[in-house]
Structure 1
Amino acid sequence: MTISSVLVANRGEIALRVIRACRERGLRSVAVYSDADAGAAHVRHADQAVHIGKSSAAKSYLDPDALLAAARSSGADAVHPGYGFLSERSSFAQAVTDAGLVWVGPPADVIARMGDKAAARAVAARAGVPVVPGSDELASVDDAVSAAARIGYPVLVKAAAGGGGRGIRPAASDDELRRVVAEAQREAASAFGSDVVYLERALPHPKHVEVQVLADTHGSVVHCYERDCSMQRRRQKVLEEAPAPGLDPGVRTAMCDAAVSLAREVGYVGAGTVEFLLDGEGEFFFIEMNTRIQVEHPVTELVTGLDLVALQLRVADGEPLPVRQDEIACRGAALEFRVNAEDPADDFLPTPGEVTALELPGGPGVRVDTALAAGDVIPPFYDSLVAKLAVWAPDRDAAVARGRRALAEYTVEGVPTTIPLHRRLLDDPTVVAGTYDITFLEGFAM
């Protein structure tokens, strides 16, 4: 099937990003929207828009039947899920395929295997990719205690169906483990519909480094180098950069090769991300694979010159990747700052409300992905991410300086955002040096 029309099963900046890629490729775009998003930018910019339900995500963007009905009524022949919502729901990918539509992403069975974190570890092991010492899926709390005795404390209790930092609890003793297993199971059941958990050894002060991969249906698998995503708060990414600062070239090569090997092993198709933890000795360990486009894909686009969303659409249309591995270069340095409608001074409390004034930064090497405009109301029903500011420069020091300049220009009035946090981060010597790890924000005071 040749794709001519794409239903974008998402909202906000990522929906607008996909709509723009469709237009450049000559494809008709179909937006979907809830009651809360009737006047949203992605609705205005699409060629067609279909109402799918009430403001609650569960009654709109998370409703597979409503999305499939929108695809049928609009005449769309493909579905791009963006990230979040149903993007990694294998049952939805299968339903799209069963309806005779093209799924812009990997096959449903690949999503299912890599979405089960315990199963993904097994795939990585078969591909020769190192994994963090851990356990199989746990049948009971007693099994968890026995596994921890073998693995060694401290450990992390992790949701097998998890992602995005949800369903994870640390434990440093048997008593603590017995308590947090139940907590992790409850959160996992609520967030992912499964309470299955497993254990991993907790690495002290690791870096979180991920590799972007692309694969087509003609046997080509390439990597687009790595991103450092170690700046995290409660396991949620705050700032990302490419390439990873201070990464040994040999480790970079081994990590990128490992990501490609894993993608080949699982039969991957499309854009995906293989995530690793990197310890202080230069050893890296696979933790999970995200089977979708990532929030932080702009930094990879800035250092490689590739359009990852356009490549997703090409691959979904059956075309081979237009670039070989030796044609993909990493040039300069890029940073991305997630702008969330949250108040860093009030424990990052979400801050929905009206944006009364908005001034976006610009100039050389500055990119803002957003669907927000002055006068818009940020609804309380969805994720608090409202924009991504990304900067590029020939080297990291210049990128940091450009980030400072862009953040100083960025003005949002009416609701608190995380922009002040990012300004402070770029004044911190550890951040400037690029030596921060995933624990850095634990002791960072606003």
Structure 2
Amino acid sequence: MKKLILIVSLVIALMVGGVVSYLTYRQAHTVGNWSDYSSINSEMSPQDCVAQGGTIVDTIGPAPSGYSPKNVLGKVAGMMCPCVCLKNQASLVTLTGILVQNNPGMEKDAWYLAYEKPGAPALSVKLLFTSTSVCQFTAIHDCATFLPTADRVSVEGWQSGNEITVRTLTVLESKKTLNDVSSWQTYRNESLGYSIGYPGDWEAEESDDTVYISAKQWRDMPEGGGSVDISVENKTLDQFIEDYNSSDIFNGYALSKILKQEEYTIDSVGAYKLTASTAIGLERTYIFIPYNNRAYIIGYHNYDDIHLEILKTFKFISPQNSQLAQCISEWQKTENLGYPLAAIQQGVISVGYKKGTSEDEIRAFIQSKGLTLDWYTDLVNFVTVSVPSGKEIEWICNLTDNRLPSVKAPEDALVQSAHTVPKTARLPTN
């Protein structure tokens, strides 16, 4: 028993002695070589330290050469040591140049920036990438897979000697786009009157009047990259916004909500761009296109370059054997217009409306189609409307429910007539 007590006493003595020695060591170095650790108020994560160009250093030990309290960015949280983040002695620089690799004298497979300075052409510096380095070209990318597509870039980072630790790399010019659309496939829907392209390793899946375009493989992005959705519905812009805002309600709070609305043009057709939040906190963008008495709605992620490239390929096509095609064909005949197509004013049509219709009603109707009402007076029952140049007859058919020139409008129809405007006519102004 006495031996056991003696052993325990020795262990306790060693532990106490060790703690005292540790505290003495820490006190000596903290006060002697460092500014007082406990007086540092700011705190950051290890990731933030690296992102700000700092180095994580243990305060138990001698201060590094050239240390100054001004270089302490803050305490580093989540570490076993009493560590601080020290600002690197390397200078923060911004250089513009060309990305090069495997040139003579360069480290194999390493990336270099070739740049020039006045009186010193053909300079190069090695680029070092960390987990916090950001490469961007309209959206943020993983530097490892993104760099081969880049060309002329701007690099911001910390330079030490002939190396730069990259903070951000921004593409200014690119010899090739992120996606070569020459190998893309095309989804075409004759009955709904549109087409859209997508990469060869993506797929298009239909469900009723909606098509979902997505990558066949999971992508290293939120929701695996998500999809570009195109739906065709019979609803107004206000109805779409109302439906979206009420689609995910939790305890009376709307989890999904339209945040911003702005005018937009796609394939020369007026539309609306809607920025929305989703129930899981992602940003989602919608293009709402009132066209041919329908609403074409395209949903996509604005931060995804491939989604943006897909959006650029969206086109309206003339539906085959449809009322619209027949209406356009009839109106294009000179005897129906009264003068040749070459003699019309482009970008404008006149619209006659039902008697008793208020200015607010006709304006709201025209705007719901994504068009602009140019001129109105309560003295006559017609207005002038701006339309995409070259699509005057198409919009005449659109606004009149594809009525042929020889067909009289129903008495209760809001739009009683629509016509092109001859070049010789002088348009009224408000």
Assess same fold via TM > 0.5: no
The answer to which structure, 1 or 2, has the higher relative contact order (CA under 8 A, 6+ apart) is: 1
Q: TM-score, normalised by structure 2?
A: 0.23
Q: Which has the higher strand share?
A: 2
Q: Which has the higher helix share?
A: 1
Q: TM-score, normalised by structure 1?
A: 0.22
